[in-house]
Amino acid sequence: MILLTHLYDLFLSFCRIGLVAFGGGYAMIPLMRAEFIMARQWLTLGEFLDIIAIAEMTPGPVAINAATYIGYKVAGIPGAAAATLGVITPSVVLILIIAGLFQHFRSSLLVRAIISGIRPAVIGLILSAVLVLGRPVLVDFKAFFISLAAFLLLITGKIRPLPVIGLASLLGLLLY
């Protein structure tokens, strides 16, 4: 019975997060933190940071990967399935609706105004995720150096994320 309750809660929680988190996986991080650490206390901050790190390193969208890992942590394989299905359901339903309506409303001033308001909010959500994840991780000069180096390598666009993660792992081995 508890497992069914957790499956239901996982599905609904990730549906809510998936429904309101415009901007993708990174915009969902503050919402997941609030839901699963603060409200439900299913994860510690350390566990959450580990899950986000693993979700970032593995192939696929970070939101889906994080949902899968969180669901697995809470309720095993059925939890992983419920959370993953929950996080993708709103996107699938919304994109089907939007695809059908977009051509008709694309030139609407109202639609353009709404999207113009959502874009900066997405940046705010992503910056919030950076601050939430950065505080407990950037505790010393070594961690700050690795983070800054990764950031600089990625914004140049000359190095893909996977080699940067490999380089950061090597720096972690050498510095720690």
* pLDDT per position as a tens digit, 137-164: 888 999 999 999 999 999 998 888 889 9
Mean pLDDT of 10-17: 94
Look at residue 70 in the predicted model and tell me its pLDDT.
Answer: 94
What's the pLDDT band for 23 if we cut at 50, 70, 90? low
Angle between helices 45-57 and 109-137 (to 10 degrees): 120
pLDDT at 114 over 70: yes
The C-alpha angle with vertex 11 and arms to 5 and 13, in degrees rounded to 5, equals 95
* pTM for the whole structure: 0.65
Between 11 and 28, the higher pLDDT residue: 11
Q: What is the pLDDT of residue 2?
A: 63
CB neighbours of residue 155 within 10 Å: 8
Take residue 14 and report the two structure tokens written for it. Answer: 């990730």
Q: Is the pLDDT of residue 25 over 80?
A: no
Q: Residue 38 pLDDT > 80, yes or no?
A: yes
Write down the domain spans for the chain.
Answer: 2-133, 138-176
Residue 135: is its pLDDT beyond 70?
Answer: yes
Half-sphere exposure of 153 (CA within 13 A, CB side): 16
Cα atoms in the Cβ-side hemisphere of radius 13 Å centred on 84: 17
Of residues 157 and 75, which shows the higher confidence score? Answer: 75
Of 52 and 24, more confident: 52
Instruction: Tell the burial category of 91 from Cβ atoms under 10 Å away from its Cβ (0-12, 13-18, 19+).
Output: middle
Q: CA nearest 49: which of 32, 35, 64?
A: 32
Residue type, 142: K
Q: Mean pLDDT throughout 95-117?
A: 83
Contact between 70 and 47 (Cβ < 8 Å): no
List of residues 6+ apart from 33 with CB closer than 8 A: 45, 48, 132
The mean pLDDT value of the chain amounts to 89
